[in-house]
């Protein structure tokens, strides 16, 4: 009981000391916590020993300390809180880096453009076309030899036995169908003409006699036997005339012309056409071979049977030897591009396959393929060796670009698409191809305009602009 006053008296002093200590610790904690965040645990311990809650330090330290206090207690919670605080300032550099990447992307987009006016494009002869679909053709290469078209080559035969009297055409001369190219002197022809002319005269006489006898018989002046006899003789004469006419026709002679020439000979006794036999061109073309001379005997066994060879070379044939491995791909009607086999030859012509032999050559094991080829200007001479590109397949594609439109930039195939300011480099993915063009799978749409010629100039300009950009 005596001690009670002392305790009661001492309580105010202890309370004062506790308040002073609290204020001191709070102030020290704020200063130290602001300077060294890691000391805040030590301060919290002092507050706890003084009987004060840690939130006193939290409210005193400000909002940052409050956010730290909300984190879970312990080392792990503090580490996560500390990492979060350091990640916040790092966010701005990341945003700045993303912005830099965007600017770099725009810079690359500018690098992929070639600024060029319409006048510059025209002066540099850069051709522009619209992207569209087309056909890709696959081919095989085979050798061949030009030959005359056998449907357009003919011989001028000596149909009768005789001697060459005239050769009216020279080697290389052009002829038309029906032109007289040579004249023969033939006894066989003279006999045939004489027989026909005699039969014609005999038939005319017998016709006159028959008409007279028929008139008398109608009037019952002559006997019926005389009329019937005249009729039989006239019929026999007519038959002989018809047989003589057929003989002339077999020799290629016209009976009406023979009769006409016979009347002309009556007015010009010094000129006789009785023994003459005219040889005519069977078709229009050119004299490519002359086999006889004037005075040569023809028509007999052992004699030349032909006088001339006439060929129409406006169309020629190409004999191709296609290996059996490729034969199944070749079809009649296929397009063929022909070029001379000589080095440096740029001439070419297009033809069509007209025949594929079902038989194989026993020696070469190759099949005969015939191509019909137009021969304008007679430039393709029979006997010439050629190389033929035979079309074996065709593919329809939605977008087709010629090879001259493509360039390679940094290992990627690109085209240059027309823009308002010039051209834009566009990477494309290619598919099937032939000798002239590629199929575009992606990167270029039908309807877009792009450069198709002299694109190497655009590639050079693109390289210059990128070099300037790097500097």
Q: What is the CATH number of the domain that holds 318?
A: 2.40.30.170
Judged against a pLDDT cut of 70, whether residue 2 lies above it is answered with no
Between 360 and 195, where is the model more confident? 195
The pLDDT score that the predictor gives to residue 430 is 92
In a domain, 45, yes or no: no
Largest CA distance in the chain: 210
In a domain, 231, yes or no: yes
pTM recorded for the entire structure: 0.52
pLDDT winner (highest mean) among 36-45, 230-239, 354-363:
230-239
Instruction: Dump pLDDT digits (tens) for 178-225.
Output: 999 999 999 988 888 889 899 998 999 999 998 888 888 888 887 888
The verdict on 417 and 380 lying in the same domain is: no
Per-residue pLDDT averaged across 392-416, rounded?
Answer: 89
Choose the final residue of a domain: 345, 365, 395: 395
The pLDDT score that the predictor gives to residue 470 is 57
- Residue 136 pLDDT class (50, 70, 90 cuts): confident
In a domain, 96, yes or no: no
The pLDDT score that the predictor gives to residue 296 is 92
Residue 205's alpha-carbon distances to 201, 209, 234, 259, in angstroms, are: 6, 6, 8, 16
In a domain, 426, yes or no: yes
C-alpha distance across the termini of the chain, in Å: 98
| Contact criterion met (CB below 8 Å) for 331 and 356 | yes
The verdict on 174 and 128 lying in the same domain is: no
Between 125 and 108, where is the model more confident? 125
The verdict on 169 and 306 lying in the same domain is: yes
Least confident residue range of 66-70, 293-297, 462-466: 66-70
| CATH, residue 411 | 2.40.420.20
The pLDDT score that the predictor gives to residue 328 is 84
Between 243 and 259, where is the model more confident? 243
Q: HSE-up of 152 (CA within 13 Å, CB side)?
A: 18
Instruction: Dump pLDDT digits (tens) for 144-171.
Output: 999 999 889 999 998 889 999 999 999 9
Residue 146's alpha-carbon distances to 316, 339, 343, 381, 384, in angstroms, are: 7, 11, 17, 7, 5
Between 81 and 204, where is the model more confident? 204
Which H helix or E strand runs over 339?
strand 335-340
Which H helix or E strand runs over 283?
none
The pLDDT score that the predictor gives to residue 436 is 83
Instruction: Dump pLDDT digits (tens) for 268-290.
Output: 766 678 888 999 999 999 999 99
Q: Which two tokens stand for residue 52?
A: 């004060």
The verdict on 319 and 448 lying in the same domain is: no
In a domain, 39, yes or no: no
Share of the chain above pLDDT 90, in %: 25
- Residue 60 pLDDT class (50, 70, 90 cuts): very low
The verdict on 248 and 303 lying in the same domain is: no
Q: Which two tokens stand for residue 226?
A: 């005389």
Per-residue pLDDT averaged across 386-405, rounded?
Answer: 88
| CATH, residue 305 | 2.40.50
The verdict on 374 and 321 lying in the same domain is: yes
Choose the final residue of a domain: 395, 426, 457: 395
The pLDDT score that the predictor gives to residue 217 is 85
In a domain, 81, yes or no: no
The pLDDT score that the predictor gives to residue 139 is 83
The verdict on 120 and 267 lying in the same domain is: no
3-state secondary structure of 466: helix
The verdict on 264 and 389 lying in the same domain is: no
Between 362 and 140, where is the model more confident? 140
Selection from 393, 394, 400 nearest residue 430 by Cα: 400
Number of domains composing the chain? 4
Between 41 and 276, where is the model more confident? 276
The verdict on 303 and 167 lying in the same domain is: yes
The pLDDT score that the predictor gives to residue 315 is 92
Judged against a pLDDT cut of 90, whether residue 316 lies above it is answered with yes
Per-residue pLDDT averaged across 8-36, rounded?
Answer: 50
The pLDDT score that the predictor gives to residue 222 is 79
The verdict on 120 and 250 lying in the same domain is: no
Judged against a pLDDT cut of 60, whether residue 175 lies above it is answered with yes
The pLDDT score that the predictor gives to residue 24 is 56
The pLDDT score that the predictor gives to residue 450 is 92
| Contact criterion met (CB below 8 Å) for 421 and 94 | no
The pLDDT score that the predictor gives to residue 104 is 36
Least confident residue range of 28-42, 63-77, 236-250, 420-434: 63-77
The verdict on 368 and 415 lying in the same domain is: no
Report the 10 Å Cβ neighbour count for 110.
12
The pLDDT score that the predictor gives to residue 395 is 82
Judged against a pLDDT cut of 90, whether residue 346 lies above it is answered with no
Per-residue pLDDT averaged across 4-32, rounded?
Answer: 50
Per-residue pLDDT averaged across 410-428, rounded?
Answer: 90
The pLDDT score that the predictor gives to residue 7 is 43
Query: Domain span at residue 157?
Result: 153-186+286-311
Q: Which two tokens stand for residue 294?
A: 């004037």
Which H helix or E strand runs over 304?
none
**What is the average pLDDT score of the chain?**
77
The pLDDT score that the predictor gives to residue 90 is 40
Report the alpha-carbon distance of residue 362 to residue 367 in Å, rounded: 10
In a domain, 302, yes or no: yes
Alpha helices in 139-286 (DSSP H): 187-218, 224-250, 255-267
The verdict on 343 and 413 lying in the same domain is: no
Which H helix or E strand runs over 15?
helix 3-35
Would you state the torsion angle of the CA atoms of residues 452, 457, 462, 468, taken in this order, to the nearest 10 degrees? Answer: -170
In a domain, 64, yes or no: no
| Contact criterion met (CB below 8 Å) for 430 and 440 | yes
- Give the neighbor-by-neighbor strand order of the sheet with 162-167: 276-280, 180-185, 162-167, 297-298
Q: Which two tokens stand for residue 14?
A: 């202890």
Q: Which own/partner contact pairs does 423-426 have at CB distance under 8 Å and 24+ positions apart?
A: 423/113, 423/114, 423/116, 423/451, 423/458, 424/112, 424/113, 424/114, 425/112, 425/113, 425/114, 425/462, 426/450
The answer for 193, left when phi > 0, alpha when psi is -120 to 50, beta otherwise, is alpha
Per-residue pLDDT averaged across 420-449, rounded?
Answer: 89
């Amino acid at each position: 009981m005596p001690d009670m006053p002392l305790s009661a008296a001492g309580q105010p002093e202890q309370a004062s000391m506790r308040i002073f200590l609290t204020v001191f610790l709070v102030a020290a904690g704020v200063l130290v916590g602001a300077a060294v965040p890691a000391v805040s645990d030590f301060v919290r311990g002092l507050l706890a020993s003084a009987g004060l809650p840690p939130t006193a330090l939290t409210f005193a330290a400000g909002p940052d300390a409050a956010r730290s206090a909300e984190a879970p207690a312990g080392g792990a919670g503090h580490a996560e809180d500390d990492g979060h605080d350091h990640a916040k300032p790092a966010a701005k550099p990341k945003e700045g880096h993303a912005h830099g990447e965007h600017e770099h992307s725009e810079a690359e987009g500018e690098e992929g453009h070639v600024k060029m006016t319409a006048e510059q494009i025209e002066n540099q002869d850069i051709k522009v076309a619209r992207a569209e679909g087309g056909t890709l053709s696959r081919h095989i290469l085979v050798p061949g030899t030009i030959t005359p078209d056998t449907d357009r080559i003919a011989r001028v035969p000596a149909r009768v036995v005789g001697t060459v009297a005239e050769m009216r055409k020279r080697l290389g001369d052009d002829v038309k169908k029906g032109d007289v190219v040579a004249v023969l002197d033939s006894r066989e022809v003279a006999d045939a003409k004489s027989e026909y002319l005699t039969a014609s005269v005999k038939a005319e006489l017998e016709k006159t006699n028959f008409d007279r006898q028929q008139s008398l018989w109608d009037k019952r002046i002559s006997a019926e036997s005389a009329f019937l006899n005249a009729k039989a003789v006239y019929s026999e004469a007519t038959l002989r005339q018809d047989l003589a006419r057929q003989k002339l026709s077999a020799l290629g002679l016209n009976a009406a012309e023979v009769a006409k020439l016979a009347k002309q000979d009556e007015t010009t006794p010094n000129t006789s056409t009785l023994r003459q036999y005219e040889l005519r061109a069977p078709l229009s073309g050119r004299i490519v071979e002359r086999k006889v001379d004037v005075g040569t005997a023809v028509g007999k066994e052992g004699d030349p049977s032909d006088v001339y060879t006439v060929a129409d070379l406006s169309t020629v044939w190409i004999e191709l030897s296609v290996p059996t491995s490729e034969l199944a791909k070749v079809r009649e009607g296929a397009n063929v591009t022909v070029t001379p086999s000589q080095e440096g030859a740029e001439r070419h012509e297009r033809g069509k396959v007209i025949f594929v032999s079902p038989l194989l050559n026993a020696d070469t094991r190759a099949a005969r393929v015939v191509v019909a080829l137009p021969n304008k200007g007679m430039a393709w001479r029979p006997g010439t060796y050629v190389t033929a590109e035979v079309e074996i397949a065709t593919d329809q594609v939605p977008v087709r670009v010629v090879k001259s439109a493509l360039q390679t930039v940094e290992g990627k195939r690109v085209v240059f698409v027309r823009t308002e300011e010039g051209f834009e480099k566009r990477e494309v993915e290619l598919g099937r191809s032939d000798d002239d063009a590629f199929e575009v799978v992606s990167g270029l749409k039908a309807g877009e305009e792009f450069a198709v010629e002299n694109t190497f100039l655009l590639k050079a300009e693109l390289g210059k602009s990128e070099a300037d950009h790097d500097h």
